[in-house]
Amino acid sequence: MIANACPAPPLPVQGLSPALFEPAREVLESLWESYRFENDLPDCDRPSTNMCVLTSLALLRHLQQNGYSGWYVDGGSPETGSGFRPSDGEDLEWHVWITDGEVIVDLTADQFSDRIPSVLITAAGDRRYATTVASRIELPDLLKLEPDGQEAVDDWAIAINECLAPQVAPVEDISPVA
């Protein structure tokens, strides 16, 4: 059960802003720390280090549960010509993010550099992001999770939902009475 709570701003109909995802990013930072501790993983200088798969899957689940279709996890390994390039001239790094094919939302790109914002929203054509057909073939196997990873995704999706889901009052059933 997730004890973290934050105000839930409404999701915009058009356009995405980093400010929209910042409350979720703040909650995720404490969840990443707990996950590292519970799984005996080393501490990192940057909280988002090695958290891209679980975070992307949790954010994807949140979007799908709230009616945002067409989003998927993309990315992969440099071996397939995919990943993230922190800046021109640097090598690709193994990385995943979510996209709808037009926009990339990445809550963990800052693991590669202090110069990258903690919430990065950019066009799918951004040269820092690379993906290939080979990586898309390999990605489903790379996204298979052990039970502790799946549990983290489930919990993190709940936490993200608490931060980002629109506040909608329940609608009364107004169907005609027969």
From first to last of its 178 residues, the chain has per-residue pLDDT tens of 334 333 333 333 246 778 888 999 999 999 999 999 999 988 889 999 999 999 999 999 998 888 888 899 999 999 999 999 998 889 999 999 999 998 999 999 999 999 999 999 998 989 999 999 999 999 898 899 999 899 999 999 999 998 876 633 343 444 444 4
Helices of type H across the chain: 18-38, 52-65, 133-142, 147-164
**52 DSSP 8-state letter:** H
Residue 76 maps to a domain: yes
Quote the domain boundaries for residue 154.
18-164
**Any domain includes 4:** no
Number of domains in the chain: 1
In a domain, 1, yes or no: no
The answer to the question of residue 148 being in a domain is yes
Q: Decide if 176 is inside a domain.
A: no
Distance CA 124, CA 18 (A): 15
Instruction: Identify whether 177 is part of a domain.
Output: no
